[in-house]
Structure 1
Amino acid sequence: MNWRLTGRYMVSVIIVTIITVFINLFIFMFWLVFQANSQHDEESTPETFTRSFRQYVTLSDNGITVNKEGQKALKEQNAWIQILDENGQDVYHDREPKGLKKKYTPIEIINLHKYKDEQLLSTIYAGGKKVNGKEYSYFIGFKNPSLGKYVLSYDTKEFVTKFNAGTIILLSIDALIALLIGYLFSRQLTKPLGRVIQGIQRLANGDYTIKMKSKGIYKDVFYNVNHLSKQLSSSKKEKDKLEQMREEWISHISHDIKTPLASIQGYAEIIQDPNYHLTVEQIREYAQIIESKSLYMKDVMEDLNLTTRLKNNDVMLHTERVNLVSLLRETLIDMLNDSRYADKSIELQTNVEKLMLNLDAILIRRAVTNLILNALVHNDADVKIVVQLEQKERTHVTIKDNGKGIEEEELEKVFDRYYRGTNTGTTHAGSGLGMAIAKDIIQKHGGDITIQSTAGEGTTIDIQLS
């Protein structure tokens, strides 16, 4: 994997380098052509000045000469002039340097024009003009030490051949350099990527103990991989915890269902057995026990079904305008009318008689009932429960008790599915889903539910509805 990444990166570097070289060559050649054209177009270049100087060469009574405009131009250019006749004899000069010869042979004329004369300390250009049928040649020397002139001779065919060979060599060298640099850089760039890929593979295999150092250009990637590892580790712990609670819940439910089933089966067998001569009162008593155990099993199955539907968002709310005060009062009256809770202290406190909200009355009744039953089950028989209704920015339904309270480490588990508190009485058998169902119902209505508790002082549950 690392070599594959390195190879891809190196190929990319080489391609970019070659393209860059071609672009640079194109730009350089274009610049040379542009410079050549621009120099030809400029009138101030020495070559152009020399060619155009013939306009200043005139014939006077004293012979060939340079007019005043030409002399002024020579002074401005810091240049001198020497005019020769057809025999190479000096016939005119102006601003000439020391050591200037009076007569030149043809080869000397060629060399003087072709090469820079170190003795005269000048760069010399040549021109010519025909006056009265006679050819005159002239030299103009520029006393500019920074000015140079070189004559280049080349064979076009050989130049093209060497240029092509040089281009191939240059590209090959550039490719080798790019290969070396690309390899060195790619090792630095792809090595961290290899670590990231290995880390992701470990995550995919279920290893969530990854912790990479967040540094370098990929520090954000390392940070996010570490963050993902923590999230997955947390999710796994939560999943394991939920699975453990589910297994415990199944174990408890199995036990809780087996007990009433055994009772139902036992009393049914007694009623059915002809060897037992039961009175009508005994039959009714046994039937009542069978009914009670059946209702308990029915409640457990309904809790399981409802929590599954709530978890899967498969419960549709049948909302209507409901007087919450009346709903709470009826819920508490129904509970107190139950013989099991007739002697319990459950009180409703409210300063209003009518508070209309859009609610699913059946589900809200179920949620409040579950919360009150939870307070009854997990506390002593003399516990006092107060249900308060207040209208603030939102509607608050508060359920308070003065019971045993809940330990801090258990407080965050209260609304978990399948959780059964440690304060549950030995005679109580429940599904362990009541608090989770209550929370899901409140949240389904767009509300919030919070719990506060102090061990030995009691518990307060606050429901907020809009």
Structure 2
Amino acid sequence: MTIRLRMTLLYSGILSITLLLFGIVLYVFLKFYIYSDLKNTLKEQTDVLQSNVQYQLELYPVGWNLLIQLDDFDSVQSGMYLQIINLVSGYKTKSANLRNVQLPISTKILADKKAGYYDTPTIHQSPFLIYNAPLMLNGELVGVLQSAYNTSVISMFFSILRLVLLILSLIVIFIATYMGWLLSKKALKPVYSLISATEQIRNSEDFGNRIQHNGAQDEIGLLSKTINGMLKRIQTIYGELDNSYASQRRFVADASHELRTPLTTITGNAEFLKKIWTSLENHPSRLPEEEEIRISVEALNDITDEATRMGRLVNDLLALARADAGFRMKSEVVEFKSIVDSVVRKAQLIPKGAELKTKGLDVLENTIVLGDKDYLQQLLFIFIDNAFKFTAEGYVEINALRDKDKVGLTIRDTGIGMDPNELPHIFDRFYRADSSRGKTPGTGLGLSIAKWILEEHKGTVDVISGRGNGTSFLIWLPVYNISNVEAQ
């Protein structure tokens, strides 16, 4: 069922119920009002007549009889029918307009109530309204004064009224349904336009298109705005997916390239060693020459170096794979100064041409951070090792800072530096600045791993660098405050 049909049926149903209630209320009100007025009029006239009733006692040789008389018994002009029943003699006196018709009476009801009551019998297929008034003499019920109206005209009026209300209701409902069907089409026209525009965008598969709504900012305008926002979000997601797919392809290509180089070296040296030792195996009496031994040792050293390099690359790839898989590091309370001291001590053992300087490490006393001790050491060591790689001479300085609820560590070098346009990409996987590519060892994964570790510890890093002016990394980590945690 379409919305248009549902709206039309809903409006028609509401109108039908409204008309039904209106018709019922109007019919009941008119009937109650007219019959109430008729009853009041009938009772008032009956009370006037009852006050004029005369009682006369007649004596006969054989007994006595009670006469009940009414002087003005002509009620033809008022349309009222009168009948007096003498309960003592059983004699009935009727108005001329009753002719041979007798009004029904229940003396039992009258005797029980001893007050007037109404009755609505049907006489000769005509409805009547009868008021039965008791005639009392000395506290005894001696007769009944009955006054009546023929209500055929009123009954006919209400029958016609029911028919008119029914016909008018059906006509109004039909007109309203037809008009509602037309108006609902007009009201839903913006929705159909919205559907058409959305289908065009879907068929074109160009999520850069937007729905143009020039009407009022009503529900349709709000819906158009919402759909445009959703399209913008979808376009952004598709762009992110495309970038992610491109990054994945680049990552696989770079990883394959980085792995192919050591594997080629290892394979070539292994085949060379195989050739030498196969030659010696075929000539058992020949001893290896000094040059062959030297070349074999160099080949073994190359194999060892490339295997070590490939092992580091595999470990780095494993760390990044864990990051992509949502690996969560353990969180524990650790003293930050002990981590920095340990990293500085290990940095002294790095083969380097630059001098290592430290400054302001005393501010780290009693500084507690929440995180994984091993990964935090790896984080700092990556930045320090990276600084020494690109600093042939000069110095690498480690400076500690403290700012309210966070602790900072600046790692600054006097190395080759980078162009400002290279800074947004230094944390990308396998990215290496042009100034260092091919000149310094590495895979370009260290800073990517460092960024992941930093994000897991809710930390930030700021980079300042310039070609020939060195590089400065400022690392910030949140300080663990046990009082704040307990307060929470």
Distance in 2 (CA, whole Å) between partners of 1:383 and 1:425 is: 21
Q: Give 3-state SS (helix, strand or coil) of 2:408's partner.
A: strand
Cα distance change of structure 1 residues 285 and 353 upon mapping to structure 2, 3 Å threshold: farther
Are positions 1:39 and 2:62 aligned together?
no
Distance in 2 (CA, whole Å) between partners of 1:283 and 1:343 is: 34
Corresponding residue for residue 71 of structure 1: none
- Decide which of 166, 182, 192 is 2:194's aligned counterpart: 192
* TM alignment of 1:87-166, pairs within 5 A: 154=156
Corresponding residue for residue 209 of structure 2: 210
Cα distance change of structure 1 residues 320 and 56 upon mapping to structure 2, 3 Å threshold: closer
Structure 2 length-normalised TM: 0.64
Cα shift readout 1:142-190 (whole Å, capped 9, x = no counterpart): xxxxxxxxx7684888877776655544443333222222222232444
Corresponding residue for residue 72 of structure 1: none
Corresponding residue for residue 128 of structure 2: none
- Decide which of 163, 172, 178 is 1:176's aligned counterpart: 178
Corresponding residue for residue 307 of structure 1: 320
Corresponding residue for residue 393 of structure 2: 382
Shift of 1:440: 1.4
Cα shift readout 1:309-350 (whole Å, capped 9, x = no counterpart): 112123543x555443233233233233133x2545454640
Shift of 1:86: 4.1
Corresponding residue for residue 256 of structure 2: 254
Counterpart of 2:450, as a letter, is A
Cα distance change of structure 1 residues 158 and 192 upon mapping to structure 2, 3 Å threshold: same
Corresponding residue for residue 406 of structure 2: 394
Shift of 1:219: 2.5
Corresponding residue for residue 462 of structure 2: 451
Shift of 1:19: 1.5
Percentage of identical aligned residues: 17
Q: Give 3-state SS (helix, strand or coil) of 1:287's partner.
A: helix
Shift of 1:209: 0.9
Q: Is the 8 A contact 1:336 1:343 kept in 2?
A: no
Corresponding residue for residue 76 of structure 1: none
- Decide which of 6, 30, 47 is 1:12's aligned counterpart: 6
Distance in 2 (CA, whole Å) between partners of 1:226 and 1:405 is: 44
Counterpart of 2:9, as a letter, is I
Q: Is the 8 A contact 2:194 2:211 kept in 1?
A: no
Corresponding residue for residue 233 of structure 1: 235
Corresponding residue for residue 99 of structure 1: none
Cα distance change of structure 1 residues 281 and 87 upon mapping to structure 2, 3 Å threshold: closer
Corresponding residue for residue 308 of structure 2: 295
Shift of 1:303: 0.7
Q: Give 3-state SS (helix, strand or coil) of 2:454's partner.
A: helix
In structure 1, runs of 5+ residues without a counterpart are 1-6, 60-83, 90-105, 107-128, 130-134, 138-150
Q: Is the 8 A contact 1:246 1:418 kept in 2?
A: no
Shift of 1:27: 1.6
Cα shift readout 1:192-236 (whole Å, capped 9, x = no counterpart): 24434554x35xx85321222354422332223222222232233
Are positions 1:30 and 2:24 aligned together?
yes
Shift of 1:300: 0.8
Cα shift readout 1:325-378 (whole Å, capped 9, x = no counterpart): 233233233233133x2545454640145645454232112211222233344x
Q: Is the 8 A contact 1:449 1:464 kept in 2?
A: yes
Q: Is the 8 A contact 2:329 2:456 kept in 1?
A: no
Q: Is the 8 A contact 1:406 1:454 kept in 2?
A: yes
Distance in 2 (CA, whole Å) between partners of 1:172 and 1:179 is: 11
Which stretch has the larger CA shift, 164-173 or 328-337?
Answer: 164-173
Distance in 2 (CA, whole Å) between partners of 1:243 and 1:421 is: 22
Cα distance change of structure 1 residues 162 and 244 upon mapping to structure 2, 3 Å threshold: closer
Corresponding residue for residue 434 of structure 2: 422
Distance in 1 (CA, whole Å) between partners of 2:380 and 2:475 is: 11
Distance in 2 (CA, whole Å) between partners of 1:226 and 1:414 is: 35
Are positions 1:434 and 2:446 aligned together?
yes
| Number of residue-to-residue matches in the alignment | 382
Counterpart of 1:334, as a letter, is K
Cα distance change of structure 1 residues 374 and 246 upon mapping to structure 2, 3 Å threshold: farther
Cα distance change of structure 1 residues 251 and 424 upon mapping to structure 2, 3 Å threshold: farther
Counterpart of 1:24, as a letter, is T
Corresponding residue for residue 52 of structure 1: 44
Q: Is the 8 A contact 1:346 1:385 kept in 2?
A: yes
Q: Is the 8 A contact 1:398 1:460 kept in 2?
A: yes
Counterpart of 1:32, as a letter, is L
Corresponding residue for residue 147 of structure 1: none
Q: Give 3-state SS (helix, strand or coil) of 2:219's partner.
A: coil
Cα distance change of structure 1 residues 277 and 356 upon mapping to structure 2, 3 Å threshold: farther
- Decide which of 346, 361, 364 is 1:350's aligned counterpart: 361
Cα distance change of structure 1 residues 210 and 291 upon mapping to structure 2, 3 Å threshold: same
Corresponding residue for residue 118 of structure 1: none
Cα distance change of structure 1 residues 221 and 54 upon mapping to structure 2, 3 Å threshold: same
Corresponding residue for residue 21 of structure 1: 15
Counterpart of 2:437, as a letter, is G
Counterpart of 1:362, as a letter, is D
Q: Is the 8 A contact 1:395 1:465 kept in 2?
A: yes
Cα distance change of structure 1 residues 31 and 406 upon mapping to structure 2, 3 Å threshold: farther
Q: Is the 8 A contact 1:401 1:460 kept in 2?
A: no
Counterpart of 2:341, as a letter, is R
Corresponding residue for residue 461 of structure 1: 474
Distance in 2 (CA, whole Å) between partners of 1:425 and 1:418 is: 11
Cα distance change of structure 1 residues 41 and 56 upon mapping to structure 2, 3 Å threshold: same
Counterpart of 2:476, as a letter, is I
Cα shift readout 1:62-119 (whole Å, capped 9, x = no counterpart): xxxxxxxxxxxxxxxxxxxxxx984999xxxxxxxxxxxxxxxx9xxxxxxxxxxxxx
| RMSD (Å) for aligned C-alpha atoms | 4.4
Distance in 2 (CA, whole Å) between partners of 1:332 and 1:354 is: 18
Distance in 1 (CA, whole Å) between partners of 2:186 and 2:474 is: 64
Cα distance change of structure 1 residues 196 and 273 upon mapping to structure 2, 3 Å threshold: closer
Structure 1 length-normalised TM: 0.66
Q: Give 3-state SS (helix, strand or coil) of 1:426's partner.
A: coil
Shift of 1:419: 3.1
Cα shift readout 1:6-42 (whole Å, capped 9, x = no counterpart): x712321331233223212322233224423653587
Cα distance change of structure 1 residues 326 and 348 upon mapping to structure 2, 3 Å threshold: farther
